[in-house]
Structure 1
Amino acid sequence: MARSTNAMITYNDLDYMVDNEGFRAKTTIPTSNRCMTKSALEASTYVYFTDTYANNQLVPYNHIHRGLYVSAPADIETFAPAQSFPFDLEVDGNWSITDDRTWITVTPSSGEDNESGITVSLTQNTGSARSGTITVHAIDANQYYYIDITQAEPTGVDVDPITLGYSASDAQDACLDYVSGPFTYYITAGRTFYNAISIFVNDPGATYLPAGWVSNGIDARYWTGSNFTAQTPCVPEE
């Protein structure tokens, strides 16, 4: 039987309404509330209304709309390699999704009503740990949900060996060390001495080189223990 547009909503109709607190689960509406007032609706679930009602008023079915539900936790911590993960969105009306970092891509970024398999893609992190935020906006409901993403620094990444001199304190000592007794270190695969942004002491790329100067015999670069900050040419011995 078709529903009258002025019928009152019952608890059965609210199976698809959702709670937007924390990592949300679909809400079970109390069976004692066969028809519900605005205050009871707001206490039990997350909805929005297309008209204005007092707390003790019963709300017509066609004026009650499902609030924003996102099947993803509010905080996500992940590893450094490039990756992607899906989530689902449920809401009545238009929505949009934005991010605040170039290494995050969300597809699709807008739509209407429910959407399954929204894809978040992260590029490989080759530097320090980084964080960004995805904002889901239910436009008609004017509701927001935020997903904070933290991507760890490289550990166990693909690396290439590189032969360098090292000195804890002096650029020229690192240059001389390259001539007298170079050692094999490791940089992120595909990088060179000049554009490497990480340097490790072990093949798995899990342990950073201690702070100091490293040299390829031509130039020396200063490594802070987490990133490079300076570069200077080697001075030939007289």
Structure 2
Amino acid sequence: MARVYNFSAGPSMLPEKVLRQAQAELLEYGDSGQSVMEMSHRSKWFDAIIKDTEATLRRVMDIPDNYKVGFFQGGATQQFAMVPLNFMTTGKADYLVTGNFSNLAAKEAAKFGEVNIVASSKDKNFTYIPDVNAINYDKDASYIHICQNNTIFGTQFVEVPQVEGVPLVADMSSMILSKPVDVTKYGCIYFGVQKNVAPAGMAIAIVRDDLLGHAADNVPTMMNYTTLLGKDSMYNTPPCWCIYMTGLVLKYLEND
């Protein structure tokens, strides 16, 4: 078999070692008598899988204790709506539009409040990143949103906005785990796992504790970060196979 090198912006290549381990455990995980794709998310085997996956991510990214980690269905695109639904407490937010996905995130957020496009590189077809220190941010904004690495256009924030009292929210889908990140600079980091971590079907969000619990009462239950994070991502059946594969990749990164 000749495996190809896949450089597409969608599902990423996975380490062969990880794929072979998943193959070996496909029919039976440990002594469970079943595949991870078949087992109850309330079982002792999956409970160990999800806890170990979160613990490994915390070690690899050096995530502080005052941040929650959640595993969400819907991918990063669903996070475009979850962010304003949970964090737009002042009714407005600042967005930096530097590519396709930050543009989509801004349009989605505009359904729920006032979106201020405080900087954009659209004038030059998204070929540069604006100077984050030369932007007039709204100090009454609920948060500042960026897409830190722009998949289609190949640009990336080296320096990120830091405004006292205004949390930074970042979509890191196409750069996550590619280099160390200072999590403390962000109120929330989210990413679809398919570009850098695991098969498609899941997003991970890392949310600072103080941002939780402020969603309006009419926010749908499954769009409220507190619902899932308060139940350790197991309010309902989580994307078990994606979590399992994420755990394998994280262990590979940590040990290899």
TM over 0.5: no
Where is the helix percentage greater, Structure 1 or Structure 2? 2
Question: Normalising to structure 1: TM-score of the pair?
Answer: 0.19
Question: Normalising to structure 2: TM-score of the pair?
Answer: 0.18
Where is the strand percentage greater, Structure 1 or Structure 2? 1
- Larger RCO: 1 or 2 (CA < 8 Å, sep 6+): 2
